């Protein structure tokens, strides 16, 4: 599906990550040094940030949002829309976005909702928030994206352990009737759902305790099914089949060429995949951001995280034309071509272990 986004601009970005680093290079009981070197050469990932168990993805997003509002000098009560993108909701219910509304001090007139998407979540939520602003009296929105992907991994799964890290990001959107149009393309193919999946934990394969104790075999099955299954070959095939076409279609919708872009920031899946995409799409190396060495794959947070980490001063003095894209679990994909800047410098902070967790409000 194609979309033209009118009169909405990105006003700022902020990322928050845990200070705790973990590197598969430092796990000789799982990987030899030679294996670790090969993993780094193909994935571009050296270490990941791991969030302590008493905190959730929402806490990283809250920390990022609070800092972003402060730097933009936006009063919390001026926010009209909040979208929280995560596949790691704090509770089965209520929606985490409702709790974020209270914690951030947003007005009760704000529209707040959760979106359960992974790698494509940032570009989807940016479009959704923009459309909500365009069709309402709202002027400002927050798009918060975060996952604790490391918690889905089996501790000895050599295929996934080196890849996934934890992060939370906040993006501020603002209605501006004079802002130039943005252009977006989206798609979905549910036949790919089997290839990146956590089978247990929802209503289809519940992990809720029962009155009668489960057998040891059943507990072991649920333990494994509650962890991430990843078919790397299928992911690679899907990416090369769909994403170059996505880039081409988005450029055609915007009526520009790849050379007209100042930067392309795609979902940071792994270096090998991103390099293949760049070459197939014929994007110049200096206009193509790859940044996952210190963070790994952070799901829906990866695009804003890469911007906050590597493009701190890129948007501060002039307007840049960029493509932002996401692809993966679902299968789900999307890309936006938009102008950004001048804006306050995107920033990366670390969330402290004593950060106050988001909780249900006690009346």
Residue 254 clears pLDDT 60, i.e. is over it: yes
Residue 252 clears pLDDT 70, i.e. is over it: yes
Residue with more model confidence, 269 or 209: 269
Q: How confident is the model at residue 339 (pLDDT cuts 50, 70, 90)?
A: very high
Peptide bond just before 60 cis, omega within 30 deg = no
Ranking 88-97, 210-219, 244-253, 331-340 by mean pLDDT, the lowest is 210-219
- Residue pair 288/264 in contact (Cβ under 8 Å)? The answer is yes
136 located within any domain: yes
Which residue in 227, 268, 250, 228 sits closest to 15, CA to CA? 268
Residue 159 clears pLDDT 90, i.e. is over it: no
359 located within any domain: no
Predicted confidence at residue 232, as pLDDT, reads 92
Q: How confident is the model at residue 138 (pLDDT cuts 50, 70, 90)?
A: very high
Predicted confidence at residue 361, as pLDDT, reads 77
**What are the helix (H) ranges across the chain?**
33-43, 57-72, 96-104, 121-134, 216-225, 232-254, 271-281, 302-310
Quick one: how far is CA 214 from the chain centroid?
35
Predicted confidence at residue 39, as pLDDT, reads 85
Predicted confidence at residue 130, as pLDDT, reads 98
Task: Name every residue whose Cβ is closer than 8 Å to that of residue 88 and which is 6 or more positions away in sequence.
Answer: 56, 57, 146, 147, 148, 149, 151
Tell me the pLDDT tens digit for each residue of 60-91: 999 999 999 999 999 999 999 999 999 999 99
223 located within any domain: no
Residue with more model confidence, 28 or 346: 346
Average pLDDT, stretch 179-184? Answer: 98
What's the rounded Cα separation, in Å, for the pair 149 and 278? 25
What's the rounded Cα separation, in Å, for the pair 293 and 46? 5
Tell me the pLDDT tens digit for each residue of 342-361: 999 999 999 999 999 999 97
Residue 363 clears pLDDT 70, i.e. is over it: no
Residue 139 clears pLDDT 90, i.e. is over it: yes
Ranking 33-37, 115-119, 230-234 by mean pLDDT, the lowest is 33-37
306 located within any domain: yes
pTM passes above 0.85: yes
Predicted confidence at residue 54, as pLDDT, reads 97
The CA-atom distances, in angstroms, between 75 and each of 65, 126, 141, 315 are 12, 21, 12, 23
Quote the percentage of the chain above a pLDDT of 70. 98
What's the rounded Cα separation, in Å, for the pair 8 and 138? 11
Residue 184 clears pLDDT 80, i.e. is over it: yes
Ranking 28-42, 178-192, 213-227 by mean pLDDT, the lowest is 28-42
262 located within any domain: yes
Q: Looking at residue 89, which CATH number applies to its domain?
A: 3.40.47.10
Q: How many domains does the chain have?
A: 1
User: Which domain covers residue 337, as residue numbers?
Assistant: 2-191+228-350
83 located within any domain: yes
- Residue 5, phi then psi, degrees to nearest 5: -100, 120
- Residue pair 282/264 in contact (Cβ under 8 Å)? The answer is no
What's the rounded Cα separation, in Å, for the pair 83 and 100? 10
120 located within any domain: yes
Average pLDDT, stretch 234-249? Answer: 96
Residue 157 clears pLDDT 90, i.e. is over it: no
- Residue pair 130/205 in contact (Cβ under 8 Å)? The answer is no
Tell me the pLDDT tens digit for each residue of 256-298: 999 999 999 999 999 999 999 999 999 999 999 999 999 999 9
What's the rounded Cα separation, in Å, for the pair 112 and 207? 28
Q: How confident is the model at residue 362 (pLDDT cuts 50, 70, 90)?
A: low
The CA-atom distances, in angstroms, between 123 and each of 182, 202, 252 are 12, 25, 18
- 332 burial (CB, 10 Å; 0-12 / 13-18 / 19+) is buried
Q: How confident is the model at residue 27 (pLDDT cuts 50, 70, 90)?
A: low
What's the rounded Cα separation, in Å, for the pair 106 and 82? 9
Predicted confidence at residue 188, as pLDDT, reads 98
360 located within any domain: no
Q: How confident is the model at residue 28 (pLDDT cuts 50, 70, 90)?
A: low
Residue 156 clears pLDDT 90, i.e. is over it: no
Quote the percentage of the chain above a pLDDT of 90. 87
């Amino acid at each position: 599906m194609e979309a033209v986004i009118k009169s909405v601009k990105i006003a700022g970005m902020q990322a928050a990550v845990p200070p705790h680093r973990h590197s598969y290079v430092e796990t000789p009981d799982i990987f030899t040094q030679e294996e670790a070197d090969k993993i780094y050469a193909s994935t571009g990932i050296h270490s990941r940030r791991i969030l302590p168990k008493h905190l959730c993805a929402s806490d990283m997003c809250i920390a990022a949002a609070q800092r972003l509002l402060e730097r933009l000098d936006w009063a919390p009560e001026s926010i009209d829309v909040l979208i929280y993108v995560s596949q790691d909701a704090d509770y089965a219910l209520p929606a985490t976005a409702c709790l974020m509304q209270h914690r951030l001090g947003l007005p009760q007139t704000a529209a707040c909702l959760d979106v359960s998407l992974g790698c494509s979540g940032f570009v989807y939520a940016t479009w959704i928030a923009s459309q909500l602003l365009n069709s309402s009296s709202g002027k400002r929105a927050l798009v918060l994206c975060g996952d604790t992907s490391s918690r889905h991994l089996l501790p000895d799964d050599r295929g996934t352990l080196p890849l996934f890290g934890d992060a939370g990001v906040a993006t501020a959107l603002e209605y501006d009737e004079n802002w130039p149009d943005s252009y977006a393309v989206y798609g979905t193919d549910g036949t790919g759902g089997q290839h990146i999946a956590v089978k247990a934990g929802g209503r289809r394969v519940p992990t809720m305790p029962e009155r009668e104790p489960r057998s040891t075999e059943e507990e072991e099955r649920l333990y494994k099914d509650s962890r991430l299954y990843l078919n790397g070959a299928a992911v690679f095939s899907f990416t090369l089949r769909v994403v170059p076409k996505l880039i081409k279609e988005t450029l055609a919708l915007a009526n520009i060429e790849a050379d007209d872009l100042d930067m392309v920031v795609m979902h940071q899946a792994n270096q090998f995949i991103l390099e293949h995409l760049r070459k197939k799409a014929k994007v110049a190396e200096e206009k193509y951001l790859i940044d996952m060495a210190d963070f790994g794959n952070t799901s829906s947070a990866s695009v804003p995280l890469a911007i906050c980490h590597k493009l701190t001063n890129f948007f501060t003095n002039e307007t840049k034309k960029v493509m932002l894209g996401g692809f993966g679990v679902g299968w789900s994909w999307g890309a936006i071509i938009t102008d950004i800047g001048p804006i306050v410098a995107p920033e990366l902070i670390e969330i402290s272990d004593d950060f106050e967790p988001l909780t249900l409000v006690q009346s």
